[in-house]
Amino acid sequence: MIDHVYISVSDIEKSRAFYRDALKPLGWSEFGNYDATSGPDDVPDLFGLGDETYLSGAGVGSSIWLRQRKPGETGLYVGIVCDSNEAVDAAYAAAINAGAIDEGAPADRTYFAPGYYAANVADFDGNRLEFVHKAWNDK
């Protein structure tokens, strides 16, 4: 299951309005922003939209995070749900063995939320994968 996707856009405000309006009939809505000053230097400001399940916390839902596109940036960023921290570790190891570029070894990412455990890799084209286990989804 896909947990979240980062979409790099050229105009944050125009894109927020577009995604908010386009996804509203499906029960999606804006739920907040992530201020990059609270995390590592390589994590950008993010603007979140989520489905009803994601927003309610009643189960594993999906979200989209808009970010300001950097010059020349074209890659995709996809967060993939893992059932445990051990699954994150295994997926990360398999990706590295398959030739992925390390962009963050498995670790707690408490700057996002307590219980957020993830690892990041990139493929040879710059597309990024985040393997993520969120403890609150263990309900």
**Model confidence over 25-82: pLDDT tens digits?**
778 899 888 887 877 777 778 899 988 888 888 888 888 889 888 887 767 888 888 9
Q: In the chain, how long is the greatest CA-to-CA distance? A: 42
Could you tell me where in the chain the CATH 3.10.180.10 domains are found? 1-74, 75-139
Q: How far is CA 92 from CA 63, 88, 115, 127, in A?
A: 22, 6, 18, 15
Give DSSP secondary structure letters for 10-64.
S-HHHHHHHHHHHHGGGT-EEEEEE-GGGS-TTPPPEEEEE-HHHHHTSS---EE
The 10s digit of each residue's pLDDT in 36-48 is 787 777 777 889 9
CATH topology of domain 75-139: 2,3-Dihydroxybiphenyl 1,2-Dioxygenase; domain 1 (3.10.180)
Whole-prediction pTM: 0.70
pLDDT tens column, 88-139: 999 999 999 988 999 999 999 999 999 999 999 988 778 788 999 999 887 5
